[in-house]
Structure 1
Amino acid sequence: MSTQIVILAAGMGTRLGRSLPKCLTELADGRTIMQQQMENIREAFGADVKITVVVGYKYEHIVEAFPTASFVYNEQYDQTNTSKSLMRALKATGSSGVVWMNGDVVFDPAALKRAAPFIASEQSFVSVNTSSVSDEEVKYTVDAEGFIDELSKQVKHGLGEAVGINYVSKADKQTLVRQLGRVDNQDYFERGIELGIEQNGLRFVPVDISDLYAVEVDFAEDLERANLFV
């Protein structure tokens, strides 16, 4: 079975202040954020990779731009957060493990290549940057064995930041789906991971990509920073 990839792109992206979905924001090299994601994915996993995009806000523009992708519609895109978009996508992708990413991440394609051994061994993971720990970002801690323990914006004394590229193994997938269904509509998907760890013993490893670039574009200054790399 080919690798399953999910891109979460249902949100309105109001903080960036653009009229189109944030994933269609143009970068300095002329590509959109999602176009560079698609190219990075195919470079890492090959042309036959299965890509599913969760859409909502002005979805027709994304469908028109990427007609070869598969799409899942989050009709409550203006009332829910990434937890519910990811839940819909995981339900739509069968029983296999899934790599997923936020639709606003500009990243080095080497980040996916580094993750390949974990995907091959069916090890769930969260990609992290240990060189930066901002109060506004999702942070993490680990347990005594080095697996993710806490994962949220509220984490104190975080070891680094989650960068928005993750994997759930086929063995962990249904547990994560159940937890995503239980969390609040406004929760990020990280809350579902936290509950899976706490209540079901799921094990997510942090994959350090601090030496590579990965920028989540929320504000204009993030876009400026991302454009330094492309």
Structure 2
Amino acid sequence: MTLQTVILAAGMGSRLGRSLPKPLTELSDGRTIMGQQHDNIRAAFGRNARITTVVGYRAETIVDAFPHVEYVYNERYDQTNTSKSLLRALKATGKGGVLWMNGDVVFDPRVLGRAIELIERDQSFVTVNTAKVSDEEVKYTVDAEGYIKELSKTVKGGIGEAVGINYISSRDKRALIAQLGRVDDQDYFERGLELAIVENGLLLEPLDISDLYAVEVDFAEDLERANQFV
């Protein structure tokens, strides 16, 4: 399978307190967060999987570390959020479906293996963890058919958390691009997905990976937890 993947890595990641972009944070096994992501992508989809990385803050350090992938530059990385980084990436990736992930997620290689069936069906999805629901994380609810209904940090009565690894199908891509263009600069990309659900009829499946690890590294304690798995 030749798959287009996107890694969102434009932000400053200041909460972790490092001078380098957060995706270049070294893990206990010697790889960086982004290096682990690249390994997982190649293991699931082969050496020919296309990786496009959205860079901004200290972009040259990421390009130097991973010179053999494609890059999109978000020159407004310090004024915009993930919605605008994803918008730039989707516009640069042609007509096919796209798997994307936040550049600070350390995750079990089996996550992508579990996603293959949905990707082969070209079914849009978000990966979710139903084992915990923290107030500060992106939460979700589902409709009567089991598709995502709400998806944001402000969801009330969320039944789980979004993990930060997602797929938009070829047929849904245009709608998401349009909605990402509408949302505020400081919105997360989940706002574009929510609008596409309401206004475009996007059917977004939750892919449960609660039994696998996926750690979004925002703080030092997150990095410590991620290092327990790798």
TM over 0.5: yes
Per the alignment, residue 155 of structure 1 pairs with 155
Per the alignment, residue 51 of structure 1 pairs with 51
Per the alignment, residue 103 of structure 2 pairs with 103
- Return the alpha-carbon distance in structure 2 between the equivalents of residues 222 and 24 of structure 1: 15
1:2 deviation in Å?
A: 1.6
Matches within 5 A, 1:147-186: 147-186=147-186
Paired residue type of 1:142:
V
- Residue-by-residue CA offset, 1:164-212 (whole Å, 9 max, x unaligned): 0000000000100000000000000000000000111101000000000
SS where residue 172 of structure 2 aligns? helix
SS where residue 170 of structure 1 aligns? coil
- Return the alpha-carbon distance in structure 2 between the equivalents of residues 40 and 9 of structure 1: 17
Answer yes or no: is 1:227 the counterpart of 2:220.
no
Structure 1's unaligned 5+ residue stretches are none
Between the two proteins, what is the percent identity of the paired residues?
A: 73
Per the alignment, residue 37 of structure 1 pairs with 37
Per the alignment, residue 136 of structure 1 pairs with 136
SS where residue 206 of structure 1 aligns? strand
- Return the alpha-carbon distance in structure 2 between the equivalents of residues 229 and 132 of structure 1: 18
Paired residue type of 1:172:
D
Paired residue type of 1:131:
A
- Return the alpha-carbon distance in structure 2 between the equivalents of residues 25 and 93 of structure 1: 27
- Measured on the aligned residues, the alpha-carbon RMSD in Å equals 0.6
- Residue-by-residue CA offset, 1:61-109 (whole Å, 9 max, x unaligned): 0000001110000000000000000000000000000000000000001
Per the alignment, residue 65 of structure 1 pairs with 65
Runs of 4+ in 1 over 4 A off after TM superposition: none
Per the alignment, residue 7 of structure 1 pairs with 7
Paired residue type of 2:55:
V
- Return the alpha-carbon distance in structure 1 between the equivalents of residues 186 and 45 of structure 2: 32
1:48 deviation in Å?
A: 0.4
- Return the alpha-carbon distance in structure 2 between the equivalents of residues 228 and 158 of structure 1: 27
- Return the alpha-carbon distance in structure 2 between the equivalents of residues 174 and 77 of structure 1: 23
Paired residue type of 1:199:
E
Matches within 5 A, 1:86-101: 86-101=86-101
- Return the alpha-carbon distance in structure 2 between the equivalents of residues 57 and 138 of structure 1: 24
**Could you tell me whether the CA contact under 8 Å between 2:2 and 2:46 is conserved in 1?**
no
Paired residue type of 2:47:
A
1:137 deviation in Å?
A: 0.3
Paired residue type of 1:163:
V
